[in-house]
């Protein structure tokens, strides 16, 4: 898939401020500092579409981007929304900020009618983290379609990355019969881009 254009559209505090749900939508979320902005910039081929922030946990809004892509050079165009959601697990956030985050994210994930897939980013350098496991369990409980995206795989030895990914999947296997799809990525090395875009293209065709 080729990205023809990627443009920032709007930041919303509530679902009712979000753009008209007239095309497929894909949302990205994860713990703050997981590498979400870097991944969004990598897959859209833009240097600074999503802001890689020096202060983790700063973006507290639902950020919509308008993407136009085509499957081949002269192929039909498809238009979709990419959504950058504020991350979780930021320790310095106050109780009231956390409650606001939860209300906004829960409302969005459960009610956004054109939401095709949520990509949950997991830092591949770490063993399974409680807040990541809790978040994916919540998505499963709400029957929200999601995939896992393991990030920063260039930062650790391949054996450590493989072990961490397996450990995360094993944790899920303890309670689930079916495992979600997962992608292995590095924004630094542009790894996993084709797989993610191919998956989005396939979903757009459905
Ligand atoms: P966000 O807070 O989840 O949006 O994370 P950022 O995209 O801002 O990334 C947090 C930090 O991790 C930054 O210093 C990035 O340069 C770094 N980073 C993100 N992705 C990668 C990656 O794939 N490889 C490496 N080596 N560093 C990364």
Give the chain's domains with CATH numbers. 28-60+86-205 (3.40.50.300)
- What pLDDT score was predicted for residue 72? 72
- What pLDDT score was predicted for residue 181? 97
User: Collapsing DSSP states into helix, strand and coil, what is residue 42?
Assistant: helix
In what side-by-side order are the strands of the sheet with 115-123?
A: 2-12, 62-70, 77-84, 25-30, 115-123, 146-151, 182-184
- What pLDDT score was predicted for residue 59? 57
Q: Region 193-202: what's the mean pLDDT?
A: 95
For residue 84, the 8-state DSSP code is E
| Nearest partner of 187 among 30, 3, 32, 44, judged by Cα | 44
**What is the C-alpha separation between 186 and 194, in angstroms, rounded?**
12
Task: Determine the atom of ligand 1 nearest the C-alpha atom of 31.
Answer: 3
Going through the chain in order, the beta strands assigned E by DSSP cover 2-12, 25-30, 62-70, 77-84, 115-123, 146-151, 182-184
- What pLDDT score was predicted for residue 56? 53
What ipTM score was computed for the predicted complex, to two decimals? 0.99
| Token pair recorded at residue 166 | 């397996």
Q: Region 35-56: what's the mean pLDDT?
A: 82
Residue 17 predicted with pLDDT over 90: yes
Residue 95 predicted with pLDDT over 80: yes
C-alpha of residue 175 to centroid of ligand 1, in Å: 31
C-alpha of residue 51 to centroid of ligand 1, in Å: 11
Give me the torsion for CA of 72, 73, 77, 83, rounded to 10°.
80
Residue 93 predicted with pLDDT over 80: no
Mean pLDDT, the chain, rounded, equals 92
| Token pair recorded at residue 71 | 């499957």
Task: Determine the atom of ligand 1 nearest the C-alpha atom of 191.
Answer: 23
| Token pair recorded at residue 50 | 């999503």
Residues touching ligand 1 (Cβ under 6 Å) are 32-38, 52-53, 56, 87, 151-152, 154-155, 186-188
C-alpha of residue 31 to centroid of ligand 1, in Å: 12
Return the best residue to mutate from 46, 52, 158 for the ligand 1 pocket (most ligand atoms within 8 A of CB). 52
The CA angle 164-105-36, to the nearest 5 degrees, is 45
Distances (CA, A) of 14 to 61, 103, 105: 8, 9, 9
Ligand 1, atom 16, lies closest to the CA of 38
C-alpha of residue 120 to centroid of ligand 1, in Å: 15
Task: Determine the atom of ligand 1 nearest the C-alpha atom of 52.
Answer: 8
C-alpha of residue 30 to centroid of ligand 1, in Å: 12
What is the pTM assigned to this prediction? 0.95
Q: Tell me the sheet residues that pair with 8.
A: 65
């Amino acid at each position: 898939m080729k990205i023809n254009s990627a443009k920032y559209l709007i930041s919303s505090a509530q679902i009712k401020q979000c753009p008209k749900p007239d095309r497929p939508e894909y949302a990205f979320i994860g713990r703050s500092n997981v590498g979400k902005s870097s991944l969004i910039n990598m897959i859209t081929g833009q240097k600074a579409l999503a802001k890689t922030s020096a202060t983790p946990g700063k973006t507290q809004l639902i950020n919509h981007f308008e993407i136009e892509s085509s499957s081949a050079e002269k192929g039909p165009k498809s238009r979709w929304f990419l959504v950058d959601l504020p991350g979780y697990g930021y320790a310095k956030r106050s109780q009231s900020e956390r409650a606001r985050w939860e209300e906004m994210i829960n409302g969005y994930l459960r009610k956004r009618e054109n939401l095709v897939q949520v990509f949950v980013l997991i830092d591949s350098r770490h063993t399974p983290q409680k807040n990541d496991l809790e978040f994916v369990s919540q998505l499963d409980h709400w029957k929200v379609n999601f995939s896992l995206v393991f990030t920063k795989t260039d930062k650790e030895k391949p054996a450590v990355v493989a072990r961490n990914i397996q450990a995360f999947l094993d944790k899920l296997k303890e309670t689930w019969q079916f495992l979600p799809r997962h992608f292995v990525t590095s924004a630094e090395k542009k790894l996993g881009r084709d797989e993610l875009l191919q998956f989005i293209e396939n979903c757009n065709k459905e």
